[in-house]
Chain A
């Protein structure tokens, strides 16, 4: 999965150096747990901890539909990050961020996303990528075209 393996390198090498602006979008398409995880990430975002929670979720990935992202687990992950667990639980149980996940998915589908991860580089689909080096090559090409 791209986000687990390559993002830290990408952030360090290109985002932190001002070369790349990185945008993360949800595309929940593998069942209920996909939606729960996306909504939980939004609940963490409400408390200013989106990226920490994002990284934690990818680190806990074990497979599809295996229970890793059921609500009770997602609440436990929030506690690990010292979030306000009561507020987080209320947020997640309310499903208040379902619309955000749905809107991302709608936008992705309209842009042609059919699987994850799907990457757009300056508006053009570049996935599937073999590895970070593959992505790096594409980024360098784009930087050279722009410069």
Chain B
């Protein structure tokens, strides 16, 4: 009985560890990746011609 309890406890800890590792945001703010509404679309801020031979995408944080 005790062995089973320990095993269940370890399984719970393992599940928690996996969930933490896969949970997306590390910054602890509201709006982790798991809360992106289904179908949400990103921003559309583009400068320049669609025919330009080179596309440069910048991911930035204003902070």
A, B co-complexed: yes
A106-B60 in contact given A21-B46, A25-B42, A142-B54 (Cβ < 8 Å): no
Q: Give the dominant DSSP class at B's interface.
A: loop
Give the total of A residues in contact with B, Cβ under 8 Å.
Answer: 69
A35 surroundings in chain B (CB, below 8 A): 29-31
A101 within 8 A of B: yes
Q: Are A20 and B55 in contact (CB under 8 A)?
A: yes
Q: Are B60 and A27 in contact (CB under 8 A)?
A: yes
CB distance from A15 to the nearest CB of B (A): 4
A106-B59 in contact given A21-B49, A22-B48, A101-B31 (Cβ < 8 Å): no
B27 surroundings in chain A (CB, below 8 A): 29-31
Query: Would you give the 0/1 interface string for B35-63, flagging 1 where the beta carbon is closer than 8 Å to chain A?
Result: 11100111101111111111111111111
Q: How many angstroms from the CA of A50 to the CA of B43 in the assembled complex?
A: 11
B31 surroundings in chain A (CB, below 8 A): 28, 35, 98, 101-102
CB distance from A114 to the nearest CB of B (A): 10
B41 surroundings in chain A (CB, below 8 A): 100, 103
- The range of chain B's interface size is 20 to 34
Q: How many angstroms from the CA of A93 to the CA of B58 in the assembled complex?
A: 27
CB distance from A32 to the nearest CB of B (A): 5
Residues of A within 8 A of B (CB): 1-3, 10-11, 14-16, 18-35, 37-38, 41-42, 45, 50-51, 54, 57-58, 61, 63-65, 68-69, 98-109, 111, 113, 116-123, 139, 142-143, 146-147
Residues of B within 8 A of A (CB): 24-27, 29-31, 33, 35-37, 40-43, 45-63
- Write 19 A-B pairs (CB below 8 A) sorted by A numbering: A3-B58, A19-B52, A20-B56, A23-B45, A24-B47, A24-B58, A26-B42, A26-B59, A28-B61, A28-B62, A28-B63, A34-B62, A35-B30, A100-B41, A108-B59, A117-B60, A120-B56, A120-B58, A142-B53
